């Protein structure tokens, strides 16, 4: 859940690393730091609590540097502070490292090997630096690094500077993502591909259990036995335009606006005319399974609930949604022929990866991700790309919609009959455009009425309840208002006790069969003092409804209504003066359990 960047080459490493860290702030932004090699072959480190903009003010630019490593942090061990910020240096000053991940046995290692060492931070990372130092006093560097890596339990992506050889950057990877790319001007290392864009022509994603060394014009890879490994590099296929704001004030707003184009990209990827282009072996495997298990966290789990609906409605296959962080420690009843489908935006979600490793040993697995080079995509038997492109804002918008669309297409592919799903999804893309362009003022008006609320509730039934869960999460994430979502029929079974005067209750009403009863539930809340708002579709709207969105095929109506909810969350956060793209305490890619 941190971001790391390194550069070794013929260009200004300081600028490449700082710019790369800025692009990775969605991975963590409570502190940042950089270590540069100066003209006198010394390592200069600058770090502090706060954002990369603050770090830039601290960095001395009076010397040229061709080698640098940097880090932007989401705190796991120790509070956000200068002392806990990366990079960390060993007691002797020989080794400087940055680290993304969590070392689970760092206390044990500290007591067993480092009793005589003085520590200057609360982090597990400083233990790695000193452990490397400890073994380097007894053996050559490569053996010391190997010894250290084999003792570490947990997850890590490491970049290391060694004062005895400041011509190279050493790296290591296990469970936590690391991408390496190169061009004629040098080598870039990063937590994902974004800092490589514009700086590299080719890239590769490291495998677990890999370490190596990056010089200016050469990269060497080794396994934990010290055996050299071969890697295949791919063209960098992400454009610089796709990772800037493109004229929008925030990435979140840009990404909401991109949802229609993402749907159209999905259609062009998965359809040849009206024929669905998905692996026949995957389709056959799902047809033969007796249960579909959808595993995810957060927003992806909410997309999984929509997927459950599609698989049961279209394919008549029993389906269940599991919270990955619970599933990994439980022993669910597994049928004879299950299949596990894992949903993740980044493909690096630690809880989901743990589940994939646990169940993938015996059962077939599918990943539905936004990163085809990710750990989950590589572990799965089949991977389905959601085609959303880089999503920078921490609060997911277009990736959620993309996951739902891919689940629906997969379910229709399993059904096998000719369908109009391509037409329906094309219409969804068009109508989301309408919501964005024509409902802006109505959404802002509702936002202005709930901006001062301390608590807010969303209600709905069936598909609208699944959408309400995601709507509640979006508002919670970026506005910091306490929100919850309820099936509206459950209100009378306890939750209505939470309703009090002026508490906003937002009803999602997009399904004709349940619209009247949801409206009745809203009246029950109003009788207890709530301030009600209704988001409905045109075909079942009433004149007093607050936000009326276009209707599409009924089971895709939640994709249109959720766009209105995403915009509502955005405007509430803006009115509160919050950092929309980087909400407090959150990180985009949750790479620790």
Q: Which residues are catalytic?
A: 2, 588
Q: What is the DSSP string of 333-383?
A: ---SSEEEEEEESSS--HHHHHHHHHHTTTS-EEEEES-TTSHHHHHSSEE
Cβ atoms of 555 and 543 within 8 Å: the answer is no
CA distances from 194 to 189, 264, 304 (A): 10, 23, 27
Q: Three-class SS of residue 305?
A: helix
Distance of CA 258 to the CA centre of its chain: 17
What are residue 159's DSSP bridge partners? 98, 171
269 half-sphere exposure, CB direction, 13 A CA radius: 17
Structural tokens at position 388: 């959303």
CA angle 205, 209, 213 (to 5 degrees): 70
Q: Three-class SS of residue 247?
A: coil
| CA 186/CA 183 separation, integer angstroms | 6
200: how many CB neighbours lie within 10 A of its CB?
23
Q: What order of strands is seen across the sheet that includes strand 179-183?
A: 43-49, 31-37, 67-73, 3-9, 186-190, 179-183, 202-205, 234-235
Q: What order of strands is seen across the sheet that includes strand 382-385?
A: 319-323, 291-296, 338-344, 365-369, 382-385
95: how many CB neighbours lie within 10 A of its CB?
28
Specify the DSSP element, H or E, that contains 469: helix 463-479
| CA 354/CA 391 separation, integer angstroms | 23
CA distances from 541 to 142, 295, 550 (A): 69, 35, 10
Closest CA to 561 of 588, 581, 541: 541
Structural tokens at position 593: 């359990």
Cβ atoms of 37 and 161 within 8 Å: the answer is yes
| CA 356/CA 593 separation, integer angstroms | 13
Q: What is the DSSP string of 534-578?
A: EEEEGGG--TT-SEEE---SGGGHHHHHHHHHHHHHHHHHHHTT-
């Amino acid at each position: 859940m941190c971001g790391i960047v390194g550069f070794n080459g013929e260009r200004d490493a300081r600028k490449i690393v700082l710019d790369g860290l800025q692009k990775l702030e969605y991975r963590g932004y409570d502190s940042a730091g950089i270590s540069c090699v100066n003209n006198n072959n010394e390592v200069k480190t600058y770090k502090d609590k706060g954002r990369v903009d603050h770090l830039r003010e601290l960095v001395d630019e009076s010397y040229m540097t061709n080698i640098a490593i940097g880090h932007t942090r989401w705190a796991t061990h120790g509070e956000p502070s200068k002392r806990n910020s990366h990079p960390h240096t060993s007691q002797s000053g020989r080794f400087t490292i940055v680290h993304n991940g969590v070392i689970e046995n760092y206390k044990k290692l500290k007591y067993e090997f480092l009793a005589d060492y003085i520590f200057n931070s609360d982090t597990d990372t400083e233990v790695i630096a000193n452990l490397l130092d400890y073994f380097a006093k007894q053996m050559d560097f490569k053996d010391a690094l190997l010894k250290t890596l084999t003792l570490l339990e947990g997850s890590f992506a490491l970049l290391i500077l060694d004062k005895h050889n400041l011509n190279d950057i050493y790296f290591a990877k296990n469970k936590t993502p690391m991408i390496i790319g190169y061009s004629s001007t040098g080598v870039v290392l990063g937590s994902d591909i974004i800092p490589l864009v514009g700086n590299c022509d080719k890239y590769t994603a490291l495998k677990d259990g890999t370490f190596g060394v990056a010089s200016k014009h050469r990269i060497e890879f080794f396994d934990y036995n010290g055996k050299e490994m071969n890697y295949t590099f791919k063209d960098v296929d992400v454009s610089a335009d796709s990772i800037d704001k493109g004229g929008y004030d925030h990435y979140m707003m840009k990404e909401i606006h991109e949802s229609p184009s993402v749907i159209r990209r999905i259609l062009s990827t998965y359809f040849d005319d009206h024929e669905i282009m998905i692996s026949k072996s995957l389709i056959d495997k799902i047809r033969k399974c007796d249960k579909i298990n959808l595993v995810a966290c957060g927003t992806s789990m909410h997309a999984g609930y929509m997927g459950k609906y599609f698989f049961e409605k279209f394919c008549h296959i029993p389906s269940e949604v599991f919270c990955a962080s619970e599933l990994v420690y439980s022993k669910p009843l597994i049928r004879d022929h299950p299949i596990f489908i894992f949903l993740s935006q980044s493909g690096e979600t630690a809880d989901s990866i743990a589940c994939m490793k646990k169940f993938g040993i015996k059962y077939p697995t599918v990943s539905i991700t936004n990163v085809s080079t990710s750990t989950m995509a590589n572990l799965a038997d089949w991977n389905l790309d959601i085609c959303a492109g880089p999503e920078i804002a921490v609060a997911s918008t277009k990736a959620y919609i993309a996951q739902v669309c891919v689940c629906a297409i997969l379910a229709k592919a399993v059904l096998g009959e000719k369908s109009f799903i391509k037409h329906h999804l094309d219409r969804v893309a068009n109508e989301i455009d309408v919501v964005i362009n024509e409902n802006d003022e109505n959404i802002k008006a509702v936002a202005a009425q709930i901006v001062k609320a301390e608590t807010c509730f969303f209600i709905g039934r069936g598909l609208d309840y699944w959408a309400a869960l995601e709507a509640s999460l979006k508002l919670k994430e970026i506005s910091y208002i306490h929100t919850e979502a309820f099936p509206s029929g459950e209100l009378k079974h306890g939750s209505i006790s939470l309703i009090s005067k002026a508490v906003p209750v937002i009803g999602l009403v997009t399904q004709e069969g349940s619209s009247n009863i949801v409206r009745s539930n809203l009246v029950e809340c109003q009788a207890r003092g709530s301030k009600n708002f209704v988001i409905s579709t045109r075909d079942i709207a009433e004149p007093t409804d607050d936000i009326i969105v276009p209707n599409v095929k009924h089971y895709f109506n939640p994709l249109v209504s959720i766009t209105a909810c995403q915009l509502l969350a955005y405007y509430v956060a803006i009115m509160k003066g919050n950092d929309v793209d980087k909400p407090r305490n959150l990180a985009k890619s949750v790479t620790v359990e």
